């Protein structure tokens, strides 16, 4: 039917199907350079060709042609009746291909709006229904063109799947990504012919590498021993970038310049090996904007938009010049992406179209995992599995970047009796990490005399109060508040119960005072009580740091805030103490226990690099590295190709299980700005740029607590999912941040 339409506005269905087929096939071309690409291209091509076969149904054609809604093609319920078009192509694929090969395309086509489904208990039953069978019958009765229905000379062979049976689930999600992105892009081009041009215009990786070199060459650097070592780290990263693609570790002490050096390696490696993009993943949303700003400063000669910053607080903005970045966030089609571990790994295990859409753009990329020791233990095994597949079969290079390298190799930490699988052939970029650590050793560490005897908060407060310039890091928000109450009134405080704008202001104030004290301009004591949010990416430099008992990696990160620049005549002082309360149950407790086991009886340097092998071995042995059974859910059943895509995606959530709520607080220093934004929200409703700006003034607390405060009248709920502090309520302390009710002092105490 030449007059059948894919969308309102005269978009011919045959044109759409052929365009999506070609685009999906092109997207898949980069898959598995070690295997013939044509079979993968044919899978993707047929998925695109048949994905909207159900739109040939006369009823669907009447609906689309009468509608002026650009979303009229999306499956859903209209007028009380369910409107679908994805079952026909799925069933056609199952008829045209021998069993069970058609099931591959059935997953992709049936899920191209609703997402990948489980086979058993989901897709199999849906496609067996009378409605699905009728959809195919009606579509075929409309006589689609023969060149749409034809299989061609395609002979499916699942033996060519990258990674075999172990790689099937990722391969299917990659194909799904090609289909979904192609469908989105062709539909987008129909409704807005100028939109594809707005997606283009990012600088090339070659231009970015040249700009990076120019920036580093022009950077004024003081001739200090630390800067000399940083320069050597940078040199080694540039030199080792010529090594063949694969796994790399970059083991550099905190303060050794690993952020810019790892970017240098990634850009040089991408240039040398023809990689398409660099993806820089960071564990904490709280520091991602800082890293993105550092990178923007490096590339400022190339203009305002040189990267995309994709995380929960950077979905969009209200400036015209960000349109390209907003669009690129949808599918990561940009040369440099700065994102979070949550965004990266939840996308790799996702089932929904919006999350899966970007996956094919991970192919032939360089992924830098900053603070690699922060990979979540409960999901570590499926994460390592997918990283192995990406490196071995999809042209990806991975850099594990940290001061406390877990070295996740198969032979180091993984127990064959548990069938645990580590990373393969991880190569260290630094020639002699031990020598580098020795050269950058800037602190001495004092351990508690008795690991079983806690020190009261009052005693800790007395010790801290005797110091002129000191940072203390504790494990929970509750502990930070308890200690803060015992400290002198001018003590500063940092925790995630302060909104982002508040924390940023306090950190800037701390940095200014540290400079003033070094220059002899500030005679007043500077004391800071903080949770572990300062342990990664916060560039502060204290002469003395106290750290409550935690994992050995956390203690090392805390030590990185002490004498960071090596400016002291002697070494900085790090004091580890046993707090009155043990760390919360779970991974924090197990990390602390592994730390005690590792350091017990240790007479030499507690932060010696060799100790981290023992620590991580002990820690990983104590936890279930696939506690949600993700690997089992993604294991393919050979006879039917059954996979639990939806169940695995639902189980793979890196954020704590307890549902969180965002509360907009009344931070006094930004009162006018907050009132202005809330006024726009009340008058115009939620807009993506507006929600991003409000994120700077939000605090996350458990939803049960937010609902309790809502019932008490302390909060309002102007829109689902966003709570606002009542203006008349004095719930936001200028030092401590949000003051929920006594539930804040629960046994877990809120980590961070």
Tell me the pLDDT band of 328, cut-offs 50, 70 and 90.
low
pLDDT tens track for 351-402: 999 889 999 999 999 999 998 988 999 999 999 999 999 999 999 999 999 9
Which tokens in the block code for residue 229?
Answer: 């070592």
Query: 405 with 616: CB under 8 angstroms?
Result: no
- Which residue matches tokens 């790399």? 248
Residue 34, pLDDT above cutoff 80: no
pLDDT score of 322: 39
The pLDDT tens digits for 519-537 are: 999 999 999 999 998 887 7
Instruction: Extract the tokens encoding 750.
Output: 């809120």
**Mean pLDDT in residue range 44-68:** 88
Segment 672-699 mean pLDDT = 89
Q: Is pLDDT of 345 > 90?
A: yes
Domain coordinates in residue numbering, the chain = 5-193, 205-437, 442-604, 660-745
619: nearest Cα among 593, 655, 601: 593
The pLDDT of residue 62 is: 83
Distances (CA, A) of 578 to 448, 452, 475, 478, 536: 7, 8, 11, 16, 22
Residue 198 confidence (pLDDT) = 60
Tokens of 515: 């400079």
The predicted pLDDT at position 750 comes to 47
Between these two residues, 249 and 196, which has the higher pLDDT value? 249
Q: Quote the distance between the C-alpha of residue 318 and its chain's center.
A: 23
- Beta strands 247-251 and 397-402: pairing type? parallel
- pLDDT over threshold 70, residue 71: no
- What is the rounded average pLDDT of the residues 293-298? 89
Coil/strand/helix, residue 250: strand
Question: Of 29-38, 75-84, 394-403, 620-629, which range is least confident?
Answer: 75-84
| Percent residues over pLDDT 90 in the chain | 60
Which pLDDT does position 748 carry in this prediction?
46
What mean pLDDT comes out for the span 632-651?
Answer: 95
Cα separation of 715 and 727, whole Å?
9
Closest to 50 in 3D by CA, of 139, 129, 130, 116: 139
Is the CB of residue 270 less than 8 Å from the CB of residue 205? Answer: yes
Say which residues have a Cβ less than 8 Å from residue 75's Cβ, sequence separation at least 6: 82, 83, 84, 85, 86, 113, 114
- What's the half-sphere exposure (Cβ side, CA atoms, 13 Å) at 230? 19
pLDDT at 631 over 80: yes
Cα–Cα distance measured from residue 14 to residue 344, given in angstroms and rounded to the nearest whole number: 35
| Whole-number pLDDT of residue 685 | 87
Strands 526-530 and 469-473: parallel
The mean-pLDDT minimum among 317-326, 540-549, 586-595, 726-735 falls in 317-326
- The lowest-confidence range among 175-179, 335-339, 489-493 is 335-339
Peptide bond into 680 cis (omega under 30): no
Report yes or no: 479 and 745 within 8 Å, Cβ to Cβ: no
Q: Does the fold of domain 442-604 match that of domain 205-437?
A: yes
Residue (of 707, 88, 174) closest to 394 by Cα position: 174
Nearest to 393 by CA among 426, 364, 351: 364
Q: Evaluate whether the domain defined by 5-193 bears CATH number 1.10.3210.
A: yes
DSSP string, 510-569: HHHHHHHHHTT---S-EEEEE-GGGGSS----BSEEEEES--HHHHHHHHTTBSTT--SS
Choose between 233 and 324: higher pLDDT.
233
> 488 in helix, strand or coil?
coil
**What length is written for the chain?**
752
Q: Which distant-in-sequence residues (6+ apart) come within 8 Å of 204 by Cβ?
A: 335
DSSP string, 410-479: HHHH--GGGT---BS-EEESSS-HHHHHHHT--EEEE--S-TTS---HHHHHHHHHT-SEEEEE-SBHHH
Residue written as token pair 């500063």: 492
**Count of other CB atoms within 10 angstroms of residue 614:** 14
Separation CA 423–CA 415 (nearest Å): 13
pLDDT score, position 411: 62
Of 203 and 17, the structure prediction assigns the larger pLDDT to 17
In the prediction, which pLDDT does 31 show? Answer: 77
Q: How confident is the model at residue 630 (pLDDT cuts 50, 70, 90)?
A: very high
b/e per residue, 592-607, with b = 16+ CB within 10 A?
bbbbbebbeeeeeebb
Say whether pLDDT at 95 is over 60: yes
Identify the CA nearest to 77 among candidates 10, 131, 125.
131
Output phi, psi for 267, to 5 deg.
Answer: -65, -45
Q: Quick one: 166 exposed, middle or buried, by C-beta within 10 A (0-12, 13-18, 19+)?
A: middle
75 by Cβ neighbours in 10 Å (0-12 / 13-18 / 19+) ranks as middle
- Residue 75 banded pLDDT, cuts 50, 70, 90: low
Tell me, what's the pLDDT at 334? Answer: 85
From start to end of 331-433, where are the E strands? 336-340, 365-370, 397-402, 426-428
Give the per-residue pLDDT at 77.
Answer: 45
Q: Which class is domain 205-437?
A: alpha beta
Q: What is the DSSP string of 204-258?
A: PHHHHHHHHHHHHHH------HHHHHHHHHHHHHHHHTTSPSSEEEEE--TTS-H
Residue 749 pLDDT exceeds 60: no
Residue 699 φ/ψ, nearest 5 degrees: -130, 140
| pLDDT above 70 for 321 | no
C-beta of residue 276 within 8 angstroms of C-beta of residue 361: yes
d(CA 400, CA 418): 24
Predicted confidence (pLDDT) per residue in 96-124, tens digit: 999 999 999 999 999 999 999 999 999 99
Does the pLDDT at position 213 exceed 70? yes
Contacts of residue 42, Cβ cutoff 8 Å, sequence gap at least 6? 25, 152, 154
* Distance of alpha carbon 341 from alpha carbon 326, whole angstroms: 19
On the question of pLDDT at 312 being above 70, the answer is no
- Give the pairing type, strands 732-733 and 737-738: antiparallel
Tokens linked to 102: 């058609």
Strand partners, 282: 340
> What's residue 137's pLDDT?
95
Residue 234: count other Cβ atoms within 10 Å of its Cβ: 20
Find where tokens 């069970």 sit: 100
Mention every residue, 6+ apart, whose C-beta is less than 8 A from residue 400: 247, 248, 249, 250, 369, 372, 406, 407, 408, 426
- What pLDDT does 67 receive? 67
Contact indicator for 560, 581 with CB cutoff of 8 Å = no
Q: Which CATH architecture has domain 442-604?
A: 3-Layer(aba) Sandwich (3.40)
What is the residue-averaged pLDDT of the chain? 87
**Percent share of the chain, pLDDT over 70:** 89
Q: What one-character DSSP code corresponds to residue 570?
A: S
| pLDDT (0 to 100) of residue 323 | 45
Phi first, then psi, for residue 614 (nearest 5°) are -65, -45
Q: Cα dist. 601→455, 555, 596, 597, 604 in Å? A: 20, 17, 9, 9, 9
Cα–Cα dist 750/747, whole Å = 8
């Amino acid at each position: 039917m030449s007059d059948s339409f894919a969308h309102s506005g005269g978009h011919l269905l045959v044109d759409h199907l052929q365009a999506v087929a070609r685009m999906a096939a092109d997207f898949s071309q980069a898959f598995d350079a070690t295997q013939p690409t044509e079979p993968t291209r044919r899978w993707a091509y047929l998925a695109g060709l048949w994905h909207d076969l159900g739109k040939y149904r006369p009823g669907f054609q009447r609906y689309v042609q009468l509608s002026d809604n650009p979303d009229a093609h999306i499956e859903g319920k209209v007028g009380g009746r369910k409107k679908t078009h994805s079952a026909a192509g799925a069933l056609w694929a199952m008829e045209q291909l021998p069993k069970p090969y058609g099931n591959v395309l059935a997953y992709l086509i049936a899920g191209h709006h609703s997402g990948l489904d489980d086979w058993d208990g989901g897709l199999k039953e849906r496609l067996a229904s009378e409605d699905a069978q009728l959809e195919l019958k009606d579509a075929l009765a409309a006589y689609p063109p023969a060149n749409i229905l034809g299989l061609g000379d395609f002979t499916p062979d699942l033996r060519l799947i990258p990674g075999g049976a172990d790689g099937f689930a990722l391969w299917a999600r990659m194909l799904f990504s090609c289909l979904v992105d192609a469908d989105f892009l062709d539909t987008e081009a129909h409704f807005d012919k100028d939109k594809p041009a707005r997606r283009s215009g990012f600088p090339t990786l070659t231009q970015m590498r040249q700009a990076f070199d120019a920036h580093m060459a022009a950077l004024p650097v003081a001739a200090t021993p630390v800067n000399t070592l940083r320069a050597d780290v940078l040199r080694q990263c540039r030199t080792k970038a010529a090594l063949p693609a694969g796994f790399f570790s970059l083991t550099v002490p905190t303060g050794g310049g690993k952020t810019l050096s790892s970017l240098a390696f990634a850009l040089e490696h991408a240039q040398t090996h023809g990689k398409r993009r660099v993806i820089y993943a960071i564990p904490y949303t709280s520091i991602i904007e800082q890293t993105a700003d550092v990178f923007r400063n490096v590339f400022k000669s190339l203009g305002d938009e040189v990267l995309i910053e994709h995380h929960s607080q950077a979905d969009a903005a209200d400036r015209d010049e960000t349109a390209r970045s907003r669009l690129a966030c949808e599918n990561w089609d940009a040369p440099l992406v700065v994102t979070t571990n949550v965004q990266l790994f939840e996308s790799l295990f996702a089932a929904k179209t919006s999350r899966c859409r970007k996956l094919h753009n991970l192919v032939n990329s360089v992924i830098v995992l900053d603070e690699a020791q922060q990979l979540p233990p409960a999901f570590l095994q499926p994460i390592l599995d997918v990283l192995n597949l990406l490196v071995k079969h999809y042209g990806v290079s991975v850099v594990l970047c940290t001061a406390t390298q877990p070295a996740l190799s198969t032979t180091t930490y993984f127990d064959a009796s548990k069938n645990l699988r580590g990373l393969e052939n991880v190569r260290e970029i630094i020639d002699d990490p031990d020598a580098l650590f020795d050269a950058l050793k800037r602190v001495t560490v004092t351990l508690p005399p008795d690991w079983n005897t806690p020190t009261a908060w009052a005693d800790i407060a007395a010790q801290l109060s005797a110091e002129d310039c000191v940072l203390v890091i504790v494990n929970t928000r509750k502990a930070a508040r308890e200690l803060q109450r015992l400290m002198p009134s001018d003590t500063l405080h940092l925790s995630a119960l302060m909104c982002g704008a508040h924390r940023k202001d306090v950190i800037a104030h701390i940095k200014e005072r540290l400079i003033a004290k070094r220059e002899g301009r500030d005679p007043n004591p500077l004391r800071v009580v903080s949770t572990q949010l300062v342990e990664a990416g916060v560039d502060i430099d204290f002469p003395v740091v106290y750290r409550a008992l935690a994992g050995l990696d956390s203690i090392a990160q805390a030590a990185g805030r002490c004498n960071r620049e090596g400016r002291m005549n002697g070494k900085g002082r790090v004091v580890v103490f046993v707090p009155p309360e043990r760390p919360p149950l779970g991974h924090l407790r197990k990390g602390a226990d592994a730390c005690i086991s590792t350091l017990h009886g240790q007479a030499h340097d507690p932060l010696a690099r060799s100790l981290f092998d023992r620590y991580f071995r002990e820690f990983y042995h104590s936890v279930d590295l696939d506690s949600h059974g993700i690997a089992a859910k993604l294991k393919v059943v050979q006879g039917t190709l059954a996979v639990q895509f939806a169940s695995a995606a639902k189980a793979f959530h890196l954020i704590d299980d307890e549902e969180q709520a965002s509360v907009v607080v009344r931070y006094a220093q930004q009162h006018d700005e907050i009132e202005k934004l809330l006024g726009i929200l009340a008058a115009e409703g939620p807009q993506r740029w507006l929600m991003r700006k409000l994120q700077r003034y939000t605090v996350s607390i458990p939803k049960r607590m937010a609902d309790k405060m809502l019932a008490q009248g302390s909060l309002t709920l102007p829109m689902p999912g966003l709570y606002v502090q009542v203006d008349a309520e004095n719930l936001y302390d200028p030092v401590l941040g949000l003051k929920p009710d006594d539930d804040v002092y629960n046994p877990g105490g809120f980590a961070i």
